[in-house]
Structure 1
Amino acid sequence: MDSPHHSRIRALVAREFTVRRVERLRDGAEKILAKLLDNLAAGPRPTDFVSEVARRLPALVAGDLLGVSESDRETFRDWVRTLLNINCVSPEEGVAAAVNLADYVRVLVERRHRHPSDDLIGALVRAHDDEDRLTDDELVSFGMVLLLAGFETVADQMAISVFLLLTTNGHYGQLRDNPELVPTAVEELVRFAPPTAGTLMPYVATADVEIGGVTIREGDTVVLSNISANRDPAAFAAADQLDLARTPNPHLGFGHGAHHCLGAQLARMQLRVLLTMLPQRFPELTLAVPTGAVPWKKGMFTRGPEELLITW
């Protein structure tokens, strides 16, 4: 969206989707992860980190944020994965998943009208600014975007992060022995290996502008690569090296400016919880297969290990 429509909706949403609300979810996220790690410890070895932890934690946290019942979370996860698929599902399957997800979020919105709640959907139903409120269609659209952007991408970033920590020059041990590095480590992992393979949308110039000696004309279509920017040697010393203590770190993993990701703090919180608790609970965690044997997702808008077998 462009302003003024974007500014209006973002202002209404930002009143409720705050750092404070995200921080209130931290205790719940820690309890969820502690239970997942208990199950991991009690289960067989090797085991798959992706299916047992990375895909479950964001789904459960997103469910708590939006007030989605636990029994429904696997269902909406399947719809989200279908919608993020590029070429492995038919157009009809994609449309069906979009309709199902929209209908599900609409039911949540209608319930909050009848029965007010403290979850994010309930708060957004009540949110207003000088009598301006989000319409039900806008609420449904935002709920869908939050599920699409806030679940699979976080799961993939978790899997990528653990893969990198276990396969690069002692970084897992560094984080285990120096937990104070977790905040900068999260930023560096998002910079170094984000879960999006490129850009999801083109942009259209609204005026002539010159960038790097190239004139972009009004009406020209521009495709931006945040991944390339995150490896720019003019912005980052040793840009192709993973440095868990890197600071400052002006990466574009969550975008920039007016369209900076509203869910960035939610993603950061979950990654910090994971990278704090996992090395403490499993100090000797290792990859159970050769690095080259790890299967990666194909045909999706997001990237990450499809399976990550670990042992300890």
Structure 2
Amino acid sequence: MTEETTTLTPQAPPPVRHWPALDLKGTEFDPLLAEFMREGPLTRIQLPHGEGWAWLATRYDDVKTITNDPRFSRAEVTGRQVTRLAPHFKPRPGSLAFADQPDHNRLRRAVAGAFTVGAAKRLRPRAQEMLDGLVDGMVRAGPPADLVERVLEPFPVALVSEVMGVPAADRERVHAWTRTIISTSGGAEAAERAKCGLYGWITDTVRARAHSTGDDVYSLLGAAVARGDIGADEAVGLAGPLQIGGEAVTHNCGQLLYLVLTRPELMARMREEPGARAAAVDELLRHIPHRTSVGLARIALEDVELHGHRIAAGDAVYVSYLAANRDPAVFPDPERIDVDRDPNPHLAFGNGPHHCTGAVLARMQTELLVGTLLDRLPGLRLAVPADQVLWRRKTMIRGPQTLPVTW
């Protein structure tokens, strides 16, 4: 972010734009976000919940810089009811999402060992085994099948439960809690009940693993608390979002596969050139609108000038990774899916200190899902017309509710 010289006369701030949570079909890009992008690099927005308004940055370079700039704080958000998408807002101590440095590194260090490239490589054979079992079951049952129900939902949930160390007997209720938490349809009361259930379970699990030498996340957290590296409340705040992470993989992969299934030339390319699949996954991750509106805000700790506007100390600021991934200055012809796009520095997993902790794991799962389904199911195609695929409604993470396929 290039600061403007203070001798310039600040521009009048843009009008505050109301941004409702639109229920969009398919992989349609949010038309209001597209409008904001056309109007200029900075917009002021008001979301459905919370108070007041916030700045929104949509250009790639600004998004990268803001997310790396310590003058914009996530920790300061915890004491505010900033305008937001979620109906409920109750940050917990220890949440990486609301930690600034140096606390962020201290907290992340406690679980980092479970999310390295090496850890993902060691987990890959087990992940492939789990995925093959699910595909075997779907093939035995025969077509048609709901790909979300049979594979896209159970695989990421089972794998994240494996990484976290959730006992098999507890996995279904943990999944029910995480599913409710990311939905906006049940309102604050349902989400709060689910959070109480999940976080109570996590508290008991971390406490029970204080002396464990295992390499699952709950064992790592139990040991870190026992050593005094992090507090018990911090361990619980750390674990919750990681446990919920499997939900994002389900819905992102649903969007990604929907695009493959509705573009014959893309499907043919990925079938015929397995070596192009990694690049195709990157391009699809760039392209999919993985969430509704925006995620978490930051608070400006001091006055910052950007594009002639003064972002005042105390102002809330959002960045849009979706918009950054469609910035024509970085991604020529950004609406087009281009498997040969090179370079492709997309921000699908975020940027800066708050880059997704589970990005390596999520990427591995996505590649396994795409490769396994294409290789094992010749002729894989939608079992209904594309416009009859049902999409999730009233949710923060977008994706198909069902994905009926045949082969």
Please give the range of the TM-score, normalised by the shorter of the 2 chains: over 0.9
CA shift for structure 1 position 300: 0.8
Contact 2:209-2:223 within 8 A present in 1 as well = no
Task: Tell whether 2:301 aligns with 1:218.
Answer: no
Q: What residue in structure 2 maps to residue 153 of structure 1?
A: 248
Secondary structure of 1:151's aligned partner: helix
Q: CA separation in 2, counterparts of 1:230 and 1:134? A: 35
Residue by residue over 1:259-283, the C-alpha shift from the partner in whole angstroms, topping out at 9 and shown as x without a partner, is 1111100100100111111111012
Counterpart of 1:251 in structure 2 is 346
1:142 is matched with which residue: 238, 253, 259? 238
- CA RMSD, aligned part only? 1.7
Distance apart, 1:188 and its partner CA:
1.3
Cα deviation code 1:124-164 (max 9, x no counterpart): 33349xx651222111111111012x111000011111100
Match of 2:194 among 68, 92, 97: 97
Indicate the residue corresponding to 1:120 in structure 2.
Answer: 217
Match of 1:81 in 2: 179
Moved more, 22-31 or 69-78: 69-78
Displacement of 1:16: 4.6
Q: Retained in 1: the 8 A contact 2:270–2:276?
A: yes
CA positional deviation for 1:170 = 1.8
Q: CA deviation at 1:75?
A: 1.3
1:33 aligns with 2:131: yes
Secondary structure of the equivalent of 2:135? helix
Unaligned runs of 5+ in 1: none
- Once residues 165 and 248 of structure 1 are traced to their aligned partners in structure 2, the CA distance between those partners, rounded to angstroms, is 21
Q: Which amino acid aligns with 1:83?
A: I
Cα distance in 2 for residues equivalent to 1:308 and 1:34: 19
The amino acid across from 1:48 in the alignment is D
**One-letter identity of the residue aligned with 1:119:** D
Structure-2 separation of matches of 1:65 and 1:160: 24
Q: Which has the larger share of helix?
A: 1
Code of the aligned partner of 1:24? R
Q: Distance in 2 between matches of 1:171 and 1:40?
A: 24
AA aligned to 1:146 is L
- Give the match for residue 208 of structure 2: 111
In our comparison, the structure showing a higher alpha carbon Rg is 2
Structure 2 distance, partners of 1:124, 1:23, is 22
Counterpart amino acid of residue 17 in structure 1: F
Identity of aligned residues (%): 36
Looking at structure 1, the residues matched to 197 and 164 of structure 2 have their Cα atoms a distance apart, in angstroms, of: 17
Determine the structure 2 residue equivalent to 1:311. Answer: 406
Cα distance in 2, alignment partners of residues 14 and 67 from structure 1: 15
Distance 2:289 2:218 in 1: 28
Change in Cα spacing, 1:16 to 1:165, as seen in structure 2 (3 Å) is closer
- Structure 2: unaligned runs, 5 residues or longer: 1-98
The number of residues matched between the two structures is: 308
Measured in 1, the distance between the counterparts of 2:102 and 2:342 equals 35
Would the aligned equivalents of 1:13 and 1:124 in 2 still touch at CA under 8 Å? yes
Kept after mapping to 2: 8 A contact 1:156/1:304: yes
Q: What residue number does 2:376 align with?
A: 281
Aligned residue type for 1:64: E
TM-superposed CA distance for 1:28, in Å, is 1.0
Q: 1:107, CA displacement in angstroms?
A: 2.1
Q: Alpha carbons of 1:62 and 1:15: their partners in 2 closer, same or farther (altered >3 Å)? A: closer
Q: Tell me, yes or no, if the aligned pair for 1:231 and 1:239 is still in contact at 8 Å.
A: yes
**Structure 1 residues 259 and 117: CA distance shift in structure 2, 3 A:** same
1-structure distance, mates of 2:191, 2:392: 18
Deviation at 1:99, TM superposition (A): 0.7
Contact 1:25–1:61, Cα closer than 8 Å, also in 2:
no
Alignment pair present for 1:7 and 2:102: no
Q: Which residue of 1 aligns with 2:156?
A: 58
Of 302-311 and 19-28, more deviation after overlay is shown by 19-28
Selected match of 2:266 from 166, 171, 181: 171
Alpha-carbon contact 1:17-1:120 (below 8 Å) kept: no
Structure 2 SS opposite 1:253? coil
Aligned to 1:49: 147
* Structure 1 letter corresponding to 2:361: L
Q: 1:273 to 1:21 in 2, by over 3 A?
A: same
1:199 has 2:294 as partner: yes
Are the aligned partners of 1:184 and 1:245 in contact in 2 as well (CA < 8 Å)?
yes
Counterpart secondary structure, 1:204: strand
SS of corresponding position for 1:104: helix
Given candidates 284, 289, 295, the residue that maps to 1:189 is 284
